[in-house]
Amino acid sequence: MTHPHPGLGLPAKLRAGELRIVALGGLGEIGRNMTVFETAGKLLIVDVGVLFPEETQPGIDLILPDFSYIRDRLQDVIGIVLTHGHEDHIGAVPYLLRERGDIAVYGSALTLALVGAKLKEHRLSPPTREVSAGMSEDIGPFTVEFVAVNHSIPDALAVAIHTPAGTVLHTGDFKMDQLPLDGRITDLRAFAALGEKGVDMFLVDSTNADVPGFTPSEREIIPALDRVFRATRRRVIVASFASHVHRVQQIIDIAASHNRKVAFVGRSMVRNMKIAQDMGYLTIPENLVIDVKDIENYGDNLVLICTGSQGEPLAALSRMANGDHAIRVGEGDTVVLASSLIPGNENPVYRVINELTRFGAKVVHKGNALVHVSGHAAAGELLYCYNIVKPKYVLPVHGEWRHLRANAELAIQTGVPRSNVIIIENGIVVDLVNHEASVVGSVPVGFVYVDGTSIGDITESSLKDRRILGEEGFISVVVVIDSQSGKIVAGPDIHARGFAEDEALFEEVKDRIEKALAIAVADGINGTHQLSQIVRKTVGGWVGGEHRRRPMIIPLVIEV
């Protein structure tokens, strides 16, 4: 099945014994993962993540899932289950808990520690339940079984949700690295056991579904990183996600073998690595790590591990590239971008690469060296999973449309009937009734923008205005008219920013404004609003026809 269909309306009320599945994020996008499961009048949420903004969303810090579907039913939410500690799965948890702060949060030890640091910043302290692979928890009418999966962060879990209507297996983010750094492989035996009992609905990570073969092992990047360290005369600066404990462990091990000191740069990197070390997920040799404030005392034989691998404007690496960070990058330095490029971040990342190169640094990234491997299963691994689990229905999740469709085709190749593969987008409602799945409607979902302390106040219209201001500039026109005669007594005064600074350019349009207003007044139009619209239309016609531009036009007609 392929959805949405334009005619889908709100779903009917859920009946006893049925299971409803609604994704509020994560479908058709990389990020904002959040899925709501409902049965017996209770709601269970799996993941509450954020999406990072693109260049077409200026000024936006984060994008949240749309909670409006559950806002009137927050009292029915009995738990939040987190699959792992990446931002696109836990980053929006504090924003949901601000609406109801006593929802129990379930997750593995590291996941709870990472989300706990966020909750502390937001002054939230919900009840937490630490779970681990092999455990099973009764959460209201749901029985949730936790399965170990391998990912680019320790302690990742898949979740099997058992209900009277059927069983759903949600992989979370996973891959099948057979030689993982921490020795924790994806538990295919547990997947097979679930498959033997019967998996009615399989929600499968789609991120690398269009990549043939198998995702390389984490161990395969060690030789490339070692060569980078060996060839670098001065400092090695490695940018990675602040939660990528495995990658940081590799950098630390290689730095130690080259007798280089290590410093963590960036608040989130320092915080997360302290958590990982305290919990035993990160092993650091004694006296290897130094405080970033002391790096001047250690010369150039350093490794700096920082945030900013996606070109985030406020992250450490971006600030270094802009020249406004205390750490100055220069000739002889090597910068390693140890991450995949998230779709939509291409321009900011290449801008950072260009600026660092301009300063004289050598920039090594996935495009020119094997310095990163993905944390997501490629097509070959997904085929194995389908053959092991043998699900009745498949719902591809976590990916853009090309990923979802590629994943769907893999399921079909393994024998899942095409009619049982459901490709949907956020807000489409799927019900499981007596082990049979069907699309039953849709609920409204949108983007919720975080802009500083503002949450949800910025609309698409506001973003359109920002884009126009950023790309086309604005023109303001002030005209003062006599309230009795309608004649112009002052102006038009025209001011422009981001369009043209030459005031003489506007002399031609001033005449047009005066004539247009005179005709309007003669025709009996005398309200300031109507006259303002005439000014807007006159200036818009002139600037569009003469200059092929579409700036924001702000007319102000004042009566005296």
pLDDT tens for 416-458 read: 999 999 999 999 999 999 999 999 999 999 888 776 665 765 6
Torsion sign, CA atoms 189, 374, 182, 114 = negative
Q: Please, which pLDDT band fits residue 165 given cuts at 50, 70 and 90?
A: very high
Length in residues, the chain: 560
Q: What percent of the chain has a predicted confidence (pLDDT) above 90?
A: 53
Q: Which helix (H) or strand (E) holds 493?
A: strand 488-497
Residues 509, 513, 517: CA angle, nearest 5 degrees: 170
* 374 within 8 A of 349, measured Cβ to Cβ: no
Give the other-Cβ count within 10 Å of 287's Cβ: 7
Whole-angstrom CA distances from 133 to 142, 159, 343, 385 are 17, 9, 31, 18
If one compares 41 and 499, the residue with the highest pLDDT of the two is 41
Q: Does 499 score more than 90 pLDDT? A: no
Tokens coding 452: 């500083």
Same CATH fold, 460-559 and 218-364?
A: no
Spell out a b/e string for 115-151, using b for 16 or more CB atoms within 10 Å of the CB, else e: bbebbeeeebebebeebebeeebebbbbebbbbbbbb
Q: Does 56 score more than 70 pLDDT? A: no
**Mode of pairing for the β-strands spanning 302-306 and 236-239:** parallel
pLDDT at position 526: 67
pLDDT at position 509: 74
Q: What percent of the chain has a predicted confidence (pLDDT) above 70?
A: 86
Q: Does 4 score more than 60 pLDDT? A: no
Torsion sign, CA atoms 166, 172, 175, 177 = negative
Query: Which of 41-45, 126-130, 232-236, 389-393 has the weakest average pLDDT?
Result: 232-236
Residue 167's region, left for phi above 0, alpha for psi from -120 to 50, else beta, is: beta
Q: Is the peptide bond before 216 cis (omega within 30 degrees of 0)?
A: no
pTM: 0.80
Query: Which of 19-23, 26-30, 185-189 has the weakest average pLDDT?
Result: 26-30
DSSP 197-234: H--SEEEEE-TBTTS-S-PPPGGGGHHHHHHHHHH-SS
Burial class from Cβ neighbours inside 10 Å (0-12, 13-18, 19+) for residue 212 reads exposed
The gap from C-alpha 438 to its chain's centroid, in whole angstroms, comes to 29
If one compares 413 and 353, the residue with the highest pLDDT of the two is 413
Burial class from Cβ neighbours inside 10 Å (0-12, 13-18, 19+) for residue 523 reads exposed
**Residue 20's closest CA among 52, 42, 49, 47?**
42
Tokens coding 251: 């950098």
Q: Please, which pLDDT band fits residue 319 given cuts at 50, 70 and 90?
A: confident
DSSP 277-308: HHTTSS---TT-B--GGGGGGGTT-EEEEES-
Tokens coding 77: 């939410």
Domain 460-559 in CATH 3.10.20.580: yes
Q: Give the separation between CA 230 and CA 494, rounded to whole angstroms.
A: 61
**Residue 295's closest CA among 326, 266, 258, 332?**
326
Spell out a b/e string for 174-196, using b for 16 or more CB atoms within 10 Å of the CB, else e: bbbbeebbeebbbbbebbeebbe
CATH, domain 19-213+374-451, list 3.30.9.10, 2.60.40.730, 3.60.15.10, 1.10.1200.10: 3.60.15.10
Q: Is 109 helix (H, G, I), strand (E, B) or coil?
A: helix
pLDDT at position 178: 92
pLDDT at position 557: 75
pLDDT at position 496: 74
pLDDT at position 161: 98
* 466 within 8 A of 61, measured Cβ to Cβ: no
Domain ranges of the chain: 19-213+374-451, 218-364, 460-559
Give the other-Cβ count within 10 Å of 417's Cβ: 11
493 Cβ contact partners less than 8 Å away, ≥ 6 residues apart: 477, 478, 479
Give the other-Cβ count within 10 Å of 73's Cβ: 13
What are residue 334's DSSP bridge partners?
236, 362
Kindly report the average pLDDT of the chain as a whole number: 87
Tokens coding 424: 């949907």
At position 362, the amino acid (one-letter code) is: K
The per-residue pLDDT for range 395-426, each reduced to its tens digit, is 999 999 999 999 999 999 999 999 999 999 99
Q: Please, which pLDDT band fits residue 464 given cuts at 50, 70 and 90?
A: low
The per-residue pLDDT for range 522-552, each reduced to its tens digit, is 766 666 777 777 777 887 777 777 766 677 7
The gap from C-alpha 171 to its chain's centroid, in whole angstroms, comes to 18
Residue with tokens 């025709």: 523
Q: Does 160 score more than 90 pLDDT? A: yes
DSSP tag of 12: P
> In 3-state terms, the chain is what percent helix, strand and coil (to 5)?
35, 25, 40
**Residue 307's closest CA among 239, 365, 371, 237?**
239
pLDDT at position 338: 82
Q: Does 93 score more than 90 pLDDT? A: yes
Maximal CA-CA distance, the chain:
87
Tokens coding 223: 């030789």
The per-residue pLDDT for range 238-282, each reduced to its tens digit, is 988 888 898 999 999 999 999 999 999 988 899 999 999 999 999
Q: Please, which pLDDT band fits residue 159 given cuts at 50, 70 and 90?
A: very high
DSSP 505-557: GGHHHHHHHHHHHHHHHHTT---HHHHHHHHHHHHHHHHHHHH----EEEEEE
CATH of domain 218-364: 3.40.50.10710
pLDDT at position 42: 96
pLDDT at position 185: 96
Burial class from Cβ neighbours inside 10 Å (0-12, 13-18, 19+) for residue 538 reads buried
